[in-house]
Amino acid sequence: MSSGLKGFGDLPHTHARGTAGEDAAEGFLQMSGYQIVARNVRTKVGELDFVALDGETLCFIEIKARASAEYGRAIEAVGPQKQRRLAKAALLFLAKNRSQRPCRFDVLGLDRGRDGAWSFTLVKNAFEAAVLHP
């Protein structure tokens, strides 16, 4: 799965690196059985990297890629503030699309090891969004 991330660290800016990471992530998610519904959904409160179906569950998937472990693992970058923004963006998506499906938040981390190889860490139901559970 690393072919989409070749030269990741050499890409000129974070947007290009983000796109390369999301391209690799999309392939990984599809191989993992997800059906991609939408990518890069922009709302007034933030962006949802992927919206996908895992069976009957609608998943809001945050993608993080790290070219080195200097600042920790990629999945550690989705802290409480980011979780709140994702939850608000998900609420807007659900309201606009009138979805009644069960939902969850997943995080996919892409980390490059010292040997240059990439590893993928998928955390299903990575966090609960109290705002989505009245």
Q: For the chain, what are the domain ranges?
A: 3-129
Whether pTM > 0.75 for this model: the answer is: yes
Assign a CATH topology to domain 3-129: Trna Endonuclease; Chain: A, domain 1 (3.40.1350)
Distances (CA, A) of 72 to 64, 79, 85: 11, 12, 21
Q: For 67-108, what is each residue's pLDDT tens digit?
A: 877 778 888 889 999 999 999 999 999 999 988 899 999 999
19-60 pLDDT, tens digit per residue, is 777 888 999 999 999 999 999 999 999 999 999 999 999 999
CA proximity to 25, closest of 119, 126, 132, 128 = 119
Give me the long-range contacts of 48-53 (CB less than 8 A, separation at least 24): 48/86, 48/89, 48/90, 48/93, 49/22, 49/25, 50/22, 50/25, 50/26, 51/93, 53/101
pLDDT of the residue at 17 = 59
- The percent of residues above 70 in pLDDT, for the chain, comes to 83
